[in-house]
Amino acid sequence: MRHLFLALLFCATLFGEKILKIATYNVENLFDLQKSGHEYSEYIPNGSSLWNQKNYKIKLKNIAQVIKEIDADIIALQEVESLQALLDLRFTLKQHGLYYQYYSIADKKDTTIKVALLSKIPFVYSKEVSVTQTLEYRNILENKFVVNGKELYVFVNHWKSKSGAESRRIISAKALKKRVSEIGFEKNIILLGDFNSDYEEYIKFKRKRKHNDTDGITGINHILGTINQRDRASKAEYAKDSFYNLWYDADKESRYTYIYRGKKEVLDNILISQPLLDQKGISYIHGTISNFDKEYLFKKKSINRWEVSRAKVPKHKGKGYSDHLSVTAKFRVN
């Protein structure tokens, strides 16, 4: 077995092939201990809710445990408060044996939580895509990479939650599609993150009147062109200016990243442009899309999220991870 592994490794190196693992993870409210004035009340540093050095270190350690096991080359993150929180997570990961030399965060706007990225691979640039000028909408993070001489664009998203209607998520979808059209749909592009949208949102949200304020139009399906996709990635065909949602390449029972009142849901997605399906240059490896569903990430038939008591004054209990599962996929770079 060892000789076979070495032979495969030699062949991959000889022909310049690289396997690239991409992931996205909503880490659920990773706040630092510096008071900015924009924190949620239970995350005011060293206050009555016990968001203190002890609980912060536990949160960092737990999230780092998950990220280390995933061991992605590039991981998109959501719900990171600040650059300091990102750097503290990066340092904790390094202490646990996983080093991400490169990092970026969408922090031009002083939103309460932000999107970020950790990478083992250098990026050519990192910039922010403005959704609106208000603090209500988080910016999208855009990173350009060159891997084995091939360009790759990665967009990290965190759209508005389902406490609001679909029209709010369409605003983010339109800003994202506008930027992608400027780059060109023929490029290698990955859109990932917490879209607060199911891969078939256009079907599921019709039953929810508070969401459907758009006459059935959705951001993830209609604006980004992922509607009526049924086939596995190996058979997928679609318009040039559309994206393919990798969840269609997974078994149905594993298509979830969130559990709400006992019901499994998809909020987090990885979408790819058409060139990433053509098996040339950079290409998605069929069958590799997966949620990261280790046993320790579940508790009482739900996700083992970071625990905060529901008392009049909420208090951090110092245990748990995130309310989301991570999503991973692999790509071949020739």
> pLDDT per residue over 100-118, tens digit each?
999 999 999 999 999 999 9
* C-alpha–C-alpha distance, residues 40 and 29, integer Å: 9
Ordered by start, the domain boundaries in the chain are: 19-333
- Identify the CATH number of the domain defined by range 19-333: 3.60.10.10
- Kindly tell me if the per-residue pLDDT of 12 is higher than 50: no
Q: Which two tokens stand for residue 255?
A: 């298509």
* Whether this model's pTM surpasses 0.75: yes
- Structural contact between residues 62 and 294, judged by C-beta atoms closer than 8 angstroms: no
Phi, psi of 193 (to 5 degrees): 130, -165
- Kindly tell me if the per-residue pLDDT of 179 is higher than 90: yes
- Kindly tell me if the per-residue pLDDT of 13 is higher than 50: no
Helix (H, G, I), strand (E, B) or coil at 78: strand
Mean pLDDT of 298-308: 96
Q: Strand 258-260 relative to strand 263-265: parallel, antiparallel, unpaired?
A: antiparallel
Give the residue with greater pLDDT, 296 vs 9: 296
Report pLDDT for 5: 43
- For 162, 213, 215, 227, the CA distances from 210, given in Å and listed in that order, are 9, 7, 12, 21
Q: What rounded mean pLDDT belongs to the chain?
A: 93
What is the tens place of the pLDDT at every residue in 191-247? 999 999 999 999 988 777 789 999 999 999 999 999 888 778 777 777 778 999 999
Mean pLDDT of 72-86: 99
Provide the β-strand partners of residue 6. Answer: none
Provide the β-strand partners of residue 116. Answer: 77, 105
Give the residue with greater pLDDT, 87 vs 5: 87
Q: Which two tokens stand for residue 291?
A: 């949620």
Count other C-beta atoms under 10 Å from residue 223's C-beta.
21
- Kindly tell me if the per-residue pLDDT of 72 is higher than 70: yes
Task: Determine the distance from the C-alpha atom of residue 8 to the mean position of all C-alpha atoms in its chain, rounded to a whole number.
Answer: 31
Give the residue with greater pLDDT, 268 vs 231: 268
